[in-house]
Chain A
Amino acid sequence: MSTLSLIIKQIINALQLGSIFALIALGYSMVYGIIRLLNFAHCDIIMVGAYISWYFMTNFANMPYLAVAAAIFGCTLLGVAIEKVAYTPLRGSPRISLLITAIGVSYLLENTAQLWLGAAAKSVPPFFKVTTLSFMGLSVSTTSVVTIAVVTVSMTALTLLVQKTKMGRAMRAVSEDSQTAQLMGTNINATISFTFAIGSALAGIGSVLYCCAYNQASPTMGSMLGLKAFVAAVLGGIGSIPGAIVGGFVIGLTEVFVSSIGLSTWKDAVVFLILIIVLLVKPTGLLGKQVNEKV
């Protein structure tokens, strides 16, 4: 393998990893943008999605589409349910109460999964036959291609949704100033629920892609993944959709770069170092807006 093809291959690895981070970071960012909540339960929604995929793929192995649909639908439902049960009653409360509730929900999901399905990882059967495509002396697995393609499509769709549709306009309005938006006739509750639904659906897609690439579901799988996606969201500017995408890819590139130069055990440290640097130097992130709080 020549140095050039090695570099290209590592970049593809980085894109694959980064696109999963980006997808999850989007969920964090959208929810933060609309109700200023760090939804720490988001990463565990992915875990639930992975278990749904596992359940459908082991029981209905010949219907991968069913598993994909079930995972996305299940995640969406769960996300909205969490919002209705845990966050809506607290909407007027201090933000710290919401944050603590989110952490609580996260632990609840993790421990329920552990109690119910055991601590050992479940192996998720492959959704499609993984082969290695090669062109110009370069071999790329179908998993990488599918992951990068699906994430690109999802992000384009999301951008169109937010920029071009009525619901998207409502989302942007609520995120800018929810009270004014309400005065203008926007249904705040519906908009917030819709945002959770979209964020969780992305988590569902993320869980399916995760299972394609890493073929295992375990109760605590979401925690590290979630933390890194959170770092990606902060790096890109939390609340910003393009920021989350950029942040995800930067984190993916960083991880792969650090690993490929032989410092793989320092990878996590480097990622969290980035978080510290961003918070010290540019707390609004790469693409975040400086919001002046008016009293």
Chain B
Amino acid sequence: MKKIFAIILSAMLLLSMTACGGGGEKEAETIKVGILGPHTGELAVYGLAVRYGAEMYFKQVNDAGGVNGKMIEVVNYDDQGDATMAVTGFTSLVDDGIVALVGEVTTGNCRAVVDEAYPINMPMVTASATATSITYDEETKTVFKNVFRTCFIDAYQGSKMADFASKELGAKKAAVLYLSGDDYTQGLAEAFEAQCKEMGVEVVAKEAFSKGDKDFNAQLTTIMAANPDVVFLPNYYEDDGMIVTQARALGIKCTLLGGDGWAGIEKYASAADLAGCYYASAYAAGSTAELKAFEEAFVAAYGEDYLNMFAATAYDAAMVVVEGLKAAEAKGAKAGEEDYKQAVIDGIDQNAGNVKGITSPSGYKFDEYNNPEKDVVIMTIKDVEGVPTPTYHMNY
């Protein structure tokens, strides 16, 4: 009895699916793009930032005449931040006939969606999931070629800071002091070291410390003896604040560099000690004219509550998606067919360099692991009447 019931149910499901598919073909005038994320619940502030940021760009494209004369139709799905619902939502969006997806928002849920999206080669661009596992499965050595992102992975800042130190600061010798046993800090330290080697910068000292350490004088003295031009501190602001203070007290006068873990460091070290240091960041509000224009338009449309970094990277994600759609349309592929999805993916792969993103005016390039090579915001700290003030330095 149960079996028969199950067969009937699945038959009905199949029918409804084909019905949906048929509906999609009838409305061939629009291109459907899905946005998946937590639009309610405690993660809504990120989910809605992504949704509104992406919607805003799609709307602008439509206002300008769409892609190849076709309007983009956004299909939203609220997964409430739950991994199971994210997968259900993705399936439902696919049934709705989407050709590309913006999302998911959090790393864990995004990974769950990737598992579903990779087998059907659905192009997806996430604006916020930073883990390496989103585009690369270490166990099976698989690169998920259909998955892109517009936020950089953590370790990327390490190599960018090495570039910056070498090209902009003219550093010849660098030192690193990092927290061992932490993926974030270790990843940044390794990327920095690798890029230094690439740029011909000698890493004269690489020192570590353990979680909870407060005294860094021994390591800093070793670093000081090696006489580096820059010291890279890829740790969190509380530790780095203490390290900066101790380094200056010891007499280390060279430029100190950090990653985005430095955000908030101004509360943990003095202006005199921090002045002239640089750190990487993903986003600096109002730093460029394009970003300012975006922020004003965003606030006018959706209010201030959801204006954060992810709104900006989602706006860029939508740009990347549209770049892919343009390529697919130019090829004359038909929505709903395998060719179309592949054309979108190829389009993103080849043309994302043309995307003048608001968080990356120099465009997007995706490496062999499909991680983006994009601009990093370099922040510097200025001594404004004794108050350490993080200030936008440049897009790099």
A216 within 8 A of B: yes
Q: Are A262 and B207 interface neighbours, CB within 8 A? A: yes
Which one of B219, B249, B268 contacts A123 once the chains associate, using CB atoms below 8 Å? B268
Report the Cα distance A5→B219, complex, angstroms.
15
Report the Cα distance A224→B181, complex, angstroms.
18
Q: Are A132 and B251 interface neighbours, CB within 8 A? A: yes
The stretch that binds B, out of A8-16, A90-98, A156-164, A174-182, is A8-16
Residue of A nearest to B177 (CB): A264
Q: Which residues of A (1-40) have their CB < 8 Å from a CB of B?
A: 1, 6, 9-10, 13-14, 16-17
Residues of A within 8 A of B238 (CB): 120-121, 216, 218
Residues of B within 8 A of A17 (CB): 215, 217
Report the Cα distance A126→B241, complex, angstroms.
13
Residue of B nearest to A3 (CB): B225
Q: How far is the CB of B181 from chain A (nearest CB, A)?
A: 8
Report the Cα distance A6→B245, complex, angstroms.
20
Tally of A interface residues using CB under 8 Å: 36
The stretch that binds B, out of A110-118, A186-194, A252-260, A282-290, is A252-260
Report the Cα distance A130→B214, complex, angstroms.
18
Q: How many interface residues does chain B have, given as a range?
A: 20 to 34
Residues of B within 8 A of A143 (CB): 249
Report the Cα distance A16→B227, complex, angstroms.
23
Residues of B within 8 A of A10 (CB): 218, 221
User: A14, A221, A225, A264: which has the most chain B beta carbons within 10 Å?
Assistant: A264
A126-B270, A265-B208 given; A13·B218 CB < 8 A: yes
Show the binding face of A for B, using Cβ within 8 Å. Answer: 1, 6, 9-10, 13-14, 16-17, 120-121, 123, 126, 130, 132, 134, 139, 141-143, 213-216, 218, 221, 224-225, 255-256, 259-260, 262, 264-265, 267-268
Query: What are the nearest 4 A-B pairs in CB distance?
Result: A259-B218, A141-B249, A13-B217, A139-B251
What are 23 pairs between A and B in contact, CB < 8 Å? Answer: A1-B225, A6-B222, A6-B225, A9-B224, A10-B218, A13-B215, A17-B215, A126-B270, A130-B248, A132-B251, A134-B251, A141-B249, A142-B249, A213-B215, A214-B242, A215-B268, A216-B214, A216-B241, A216-B268, A218-B238, A259-B222, A264-B207, A265-B210
Extra A-B contacts (13), CB below 8 Å, given A6-B225, A213-B246, A215-B242: A1-B224, A13-B218, A13-B221, A16-B217, A17-B217, A123-B268, A126-B270, A143-B249, A213-B215, A216-B214, A259-B207, A267-B210, A267-B213
